[in-house]
Structure 1
């Protein structure tokens, strides 16, 4: 499929590989390399497309953001154009971070502005909570531990995102949280912070001072906290604040979903209405989060598990393969930062044959008698088996043979 980028095209869908739109005759490639495949988002100021970069041998996916306001010549459209231009600058400055999409290109074609950026494969947190109704404690810890360092990074570069919300947080297949959509971001220089600007952001998650055009670094932390209580309860933040009492009541809406008191205190400090009582920096929030020392009982559904396939082989005494079977197992990848990813395999219950048969050559006395060992499903800290020490998933399963069961 090849999608026409002309906004008023009546039949934008074209066969794959087409160079010109069969309906309106417009070029289907941007800069002779970027081909739109389908629309993945749209609003009053343009569209976002899933695309492919045909200039690279691997034909990787990318994202095309097209700026084309429906209302031409208005002050709002002019402000939107400025923000679109600023997004390119922010991404160019920040996009080398592994949890921020990289800017690939920024240009004008056919009197329309375009951003080409890295495609992040995964689901945003709004999509995830819609499917499972609410996040649990483990998932919120995972979110905060992933995203607070990203906010610390962008704030250290004098950028305020101004639109932290579940829709702008994408969880990859590896479990990493990626922050997207810097269209509302602004530089936080001393002069800029002193001025009252335009109130920008998503109303459900916006901090009180940001709603008055005075966004600061702590405004992003407020939006993150508001996102957390939405994800924990599955309820709009509007319904989690008691106007009469002037206080948050999100804990009352946790249904069979308890969280640790220490984590609750971190969230409460993120969503303080008064700026002076809120966390002043992401570093402060990280320090408190690291001191909560949670004891979490993990279940497979609490983690973004992925599947992999492996072979289990049985060998004869001479080393000849006499049996080979294909199996599946689940694993979890935790991004520890600095390019380090820890991979762990989920260990269900089963039976393990331990020891050596009496006729096996070279066996030691302590390896007998050969016997079955029943192992219950691992829970809590025993749920995850680390693949460290040079082992990968395939070699680990091969060594344990029937330790894993379908």
Structure 2
């Protein structure tokens, strides 16, 4: 049988000895060299795929010396985004050179136009056929794999990925059906149809716009967020933010599928962390190996191993770690642990526990720098076991690291490190306070409430914690809870001037102008800080403006600006007062400051809109 390339044809298979399709007349010899022997995926017209894939006979291959069986992809629809994917695959296969990757030459990509209406242009890519069965077929036939096989296959695939990544690509579709188990026992990685070039431009585009897009002429983008395989693709790839570390996630999930024999969608996940629960289905896998796999499939790419070298190095250490793991669980160890414990205490005493602990901490920090988080944790645990006071040093290390991450805007990673700082020292108040700020910035409301309530357990009378919790409720629009926390802060300390200001502001927003004025005046009597005084005078001006006491409002607002000429909210309110008093020239200056100066204050945003509405009405 020979198949017709025309996907619109109603009868695509034909006898071997004819030149044109009996049903539609399309030539059966493509590009004067290719004959389609049989399809490698179903040919139904409504199948959810943009390509047909055939095993073909290439009678005039551009590389090699004799006709050979190869594979050809045929793009069904001439849409720019799919054409771009095929071209990417062509360039990747031309540039990549590894025995585990199909070969192709530049001449193996060509177009073929159907001879009859509709005269569709079909994009074709011919490549080497990797003989064997894919790992999904292998799993169905042989059942789940052992730990030794899993590690061997991981090393083979990492060797392929190392080549792919170093040439400047990442695959984006690693899964059992795209991995071929060859008769030689070696694995091959196929289907580079979603391959992506790693460039600074691409990474900047993903980082800024949050989407991986294919851009056509004139700058219009086609989103490719759908380039994913459910159960294997990383969360960031599902959201159009694929990274090289997304390949490690897919590889880890592939190994989980192979060692458990369970479909990925049938495995549960932890509600709180989103981590996959799979170890109970793979009792043949030792804890050190399972720990590495869990790192690879971590939901956040920053917590996965960052390079193929790191993973390969970890795998090479695993046999020793597994032996240690088995020994620690053995009867011999349990019987002799008392003697061993005494010996360890003796040795540590001789070597000086603080020195050993400090050495282990340094090694842990080096592992963190290499993004080898599991080794770092092991070193830190050993350090604490050697010298419990080391906990505080480790806590400070994570606190400093989190603060650096905050400065560069990596808020999710910062949150994780603040949590690690607290894990090693749950009395670290600085870590709690900074974690609270971090959680506010990423809008993690549950985290914010947890942090401030935890801090109040340490010191129920800490006015700064009550003030910060009030600000949190204030930002959420829960004014009753905000007023309660501001009031507690004021009662707890005579230094809580800023809480008086915020409570006065809330009273204005809820229409209690007299109480707002009373609070502001009481604060002015207690505070000598010009900035706080400016804020309180602004509140007096605002409340007076709401009471239609325009002259008083103007006076208070001008006083606020004389103390702090950077108060944009005072300019916005002053503009309204000056307009009402007919001082148009003065109002124009205040309006300009209100509209053009930088401010993230939510009240300023509202007043700016009101100003624009008044201007447009005129």
TM-score by length of 2: 0.45
Is the 8 Å Cα contact of residues 270 and 277 (structure 2) preserved in structure 1?
no
Are 2:172 and 1:169 equivalent residues in the alignment?
Answer: no
Are 2:233 and 1:225 equivalent residues in the alignment?
Answer: no
SS of alignment partner, residue 61 of structure 1: strand
**1:305-345 deviations in Å (ceiling 9; x for gaps):** xxxxxxxxxxxxxxxxxxxxxxxxxxxxxxxxxxxxxxxxx
The aligned residue for residue 92 of structure 1 is: 94
- What aligned pairs does 1:275-286 form with structure 2 within 5 A after superposition? 275-286=301-312
CA distance in 1, matches of 2:22, 2:237: 47
1:62 to 59, 67, 70: 70
- What aligned pairs does 1:7-406 form with structure 2 within 5 A after superposition? 7-42=7-42, 43-55=48-60, 58-69=66-77, 77-94=79-96, 96-104=97-105, 105-110=108-113, 111-195=121-205, 196-197=211-212, 198-199=224-225, 200-246=227-273, 247-254=275-282, 257-293=283-319
CA distance in 1, matches of 2:134, 2:145: 13
Is the 8 Å Cα contact of residues 193 and 215 (structure 1) preserved in structure 2?
no
1:245 CA drift (Å): 4.0
CA distance in 2, matches of 1:234, 1:25: 46
SS of alignment partner, residue 306 of structure 2: coil
CA distance in 1, matches of 2:10, 2:238: 39
**1:68-107 deviations in Å (ceiling 9; x for gaps):** 13xx7xxxx432221112111111111x211110114000
CA distance in 1, matches of 2:59, 2:301: 48
1:222 CA drift (Å): 0.5
- The structure in which a higher percent of residues are helix is 2
**1:100-153 deviations in Å (ceiling 9; x for gaps):** 101140000111110000011100001111222322212211210110011111
In structure 1, list runs of 5 or more residues that go unmatched: 297-406
SS of alignment partner, residue 35 of structure 1: strand
Is the 8 Å Cα contact of residues 288 and 318 (structure 2) preserved in structure 1?
yes
1:44 CA drift (Å): 3.1
CA distance in 1, matches of 2:29, 2:271: 56
SS of alignment partner, residue 72 of structure 2: strand
CA distance in 1, matches of 2:288, 2:185: 24
Is the 8 Å Cα contact of residues 102 and 127 (structure 2) preserved in structure 1?
yes
Is the 8 Å Cα contact of residues 231 and 265 (structure 2) preserved in structure 1?
yes
SS of alignment partner, residue 41 of structure 2: strand
CA distance in 2, matches of 1:171, 1:278: 27
Across the aligned residues of Structure 1 and Structure 2, the Cα RMSD in angstroms comes to 1.9
1:25 CA drift (Å): 1.9
**1:260-315 deviations in Å (ceiling 9; x for gaps):** 3222222111111122221101110000001112789xxxxxxxxxxxxxxxxxxx
TM-score by length of 1: 0.67
- The structure in which a higher percent of residues are strand is 1
Is the 8 Å Cα contact of residues 36 and 52 (structure 1) preserved in structure 2?
yes
CA distance in 1, matches of 2:169, 2:123: 23
SS of alignment partner, residue 318 of structure 2: coil
CA distance in 2, matches of 1:267, 1:17: 53
